[in-house]
Amino acid sequence: MKRHIILITLALIAANAFAQHDEQVTVEGKYRPKVNKVNKLTLTPETPRPTYEFPSSEVSPKETTQRFALDLEKIAPAAFSSKNDKLVNPTQNFLMAGFGTRISPVFLYKHNSMLTKTLGLGVGVKHNSSWLNIDNYAPSSYMNNLFDVNLSTSMFDGLQVDGGVCYKNDMYHYYGMNLMEVPVNLTEAQMEEACPRQTYNTIGAHLGLSSTSNRTGELSHVGSVDYHYTFDRLDAHEHFVDVAYALGYAQNLWGDKNHPQKFGVDLGFQYDGFMLKNGLSTDNRILFKVNPFFEMSDDFFRLRLGVRMDGATIVNLDDKFLAIRPDLSGSLFVLGKKLEFYANLNGGRKLLTFSEIIEENPFYCNLPYFNWRVQNVKLGFEGGVRTNIAEIVDLHLGVRYRSTVNDPLYQQRIVTLFLPITPESQIPIWNSYELIYDETKTVNVLANARVKLRNGITTDLGFAYNSCRPSVEEYAWYRPTIEGKLKLTYDLNDNLAFNASFLYQGGRYAKIYNGEAGWKAVKIKDIFDLSLGADYKVNDQITAFALLDNVAHQKYHLYLNYPVTGIQFFAGVKLKF
């Protein structure tokens, strides 16, 4: 208790001097159709421009990508770009097409253009799949498809409007069974039933409206509405609506007129409706927030003082929750803004959605029941330092603390769903997962550095130590204790570049059911993933690429009994025109 009081006191003191940096930290993974969301007010909008952004041109051949909590924001990320990064700079058309040794096609196309002086268009298509199974395992194919369209316009006086629609289709086999270790006498038809081909579909839409005025003494506002409908092959359906609106006013009350003081409020409303089996089982949750704030800045500091008031309800249970959380942040700049100290004190609730769950764990099975809750961060603290040394080293050191109620964890199902194979027999779906919840206290110590040398070598280093202590469970299942990454890029000349990436996760545990012995903890093999690649620039429009993925042929498990594919070779071309 004393440690918590000391931590809270230090955080409140720090928040009066340091600023908010609310980063989302994940390693580059599968392309996802996340339409643009407005999370905070922009009181100094830029000139209207297309909102569509080009993706990374890195190949992501795995059926699911392990998430890493490593990528901290750096001070000057624009200062470090490889020659090959120019391929994803804004251009009208970008196309990447390749093929892998497991009969795995990779295709990505992006179009970005201005139809008129005030109307921008973006179109995207993505496909990635595998047609061969993992050796010794039951059916293991996967396929990911995506199509999205975005429009943005500034034809309205003082306003910019953007909107878009997307469709996403993901298919996975529930292949979590090693046929060499657990032999079963099933026909191919029965195997298909026991390891079913699960399919997820998402239809999404976005509409945003923002003012373009950046003059003091005028109201500025940003609003958005996001909607998605997600459904799967087992008759689960989710409707999710996210409405956000921010209103602000900037005025020179004191000090330098180039740094006006800002008053504002962020408002939010979310609805999540989930249904199983044609309405026989439903769950409706609502979340709203009101977040008034005051901001001020100067050449050597930035400060935000606010409070978040949120409420949530689970309609079916008549449960209602109301709370007030701090929203305090600030930064202190020294050495001409080359060194920044920051801190942030926050908290709040979040609706955990079906679409987020299946994106993280596609082997989740919600039948025959589900148990949705509202995740609640009672107290969150972030602090750290960022620095850019001689425009060569970009360094970020940070610490994170979270006290969370209803923190979701994964465990294997023991309530088994039986599918009829024949009128005389039934067998279960193998190795599906369900959600359990616990109250956790999490501390993350993170470090991220990027070094660029004159000889064409760029190095990205990342390290994270994660300590997550559940109140009831023995471990925070599947969450790593140690994470590390290393990425090297070497530009041999203007045409040829090489790259290597290494990922590591260790200290993960799974919870499995051991029959009459009950539940037990099992340590999962550490993740070692090394990939080697090369890019050859034929001309300004065409670049050939090659990738040797998972060089060490490590079939590490994302979730127990779900290993990734081993070594693969990919080759193809990237075009811009």
pLDDT tens across the length of the chain (577 residues)? 434 433 333 333 333 333 333 222 222 222 222 222 222 232 333 333 333 444 444 545 555 555 555 444 433 332 333 333 433 445 688 899 998 887 788 898 988 888 888 888 889 999 988 877 777 777 778 888 999 999 988 777 778 899 999 999 998 887 777 777 666 666 777 776 667 778 999 999 999 998 877 777 888 889 999 999 999 887 889 999 999 999 999 888 888 888 888 999 999 999 999 988 665 667 889 999 999 999 998 888 999 999 999 998 876 555 667 889 999 999 999 887 788 999 999 999 999 899 999 888 888 887 666 778 889 999 999 999 988 877 788 888 999 999 999 999 998 876 554 444 444 444 556 678 889 999 999 999 999 888 887 778 888 888 999 999 999 999 999 999 999 989 898 988 888 999 998 989 999 999 988 777 788 999 999 988 899 999 999 998 899 999 998 899 888 888 888 888 888 899 999 988 8
Report the C-alpha gap between 344 and 355 in whole angstroms. Answer: 29
Q: Which helix (H) or strand (E) holds 188?
A: helix 188-194
Q: With contact defined as beta carbons under 8 Å apart, do 21 and 497 qualify?
A: no
How far out from the chain centre does Cα 308 lie? Answer: 23
Q: With contact defined as beta carbons under 8 Å apart, do 574 and 98 qualify?
A: no
Q: With contact defined as beta carbons under 8 Å apart, do 144 and 29 qualify?
A: no
Q: With contact defined as beta carbons under 8 Å apart, do 175 and 133 qualify?
A: yes
Give the three-state DSSP class for 5: helix
Report the C-alpha gap between 243 and 245 in whole angstroms. Answer: 7
Tokens matching residue 345: 């004190």
Give the three-state DSSP class for 2: helix
> Could you check whether the bond before residue 368 is cis, i.e. omega within 30 degrees of 0?
yes
Task: Tell me the fold of 2-37+48-576.
Answer: Maltoporin; Chain A (2.40.170)
Say how many Å lie between the first and final Cα of the chain, rounded: 61
Report the C-alpha gap between 171 and 201 in whole angstroms. Answer: 9
Q: Which among 233, 163, 225, 223 has a CA at the least distance from the CA of 201?
A: 233
Report the C-alpha gap between 422 and 438 in whole angstroms. Answer: 40
How far out from the chain centre does Cα 148 lie? Answer: 18
Neighbours of 415 (CB within 10 A): 10
Phi/psi for 358 (5° steps) reads: -75, -20
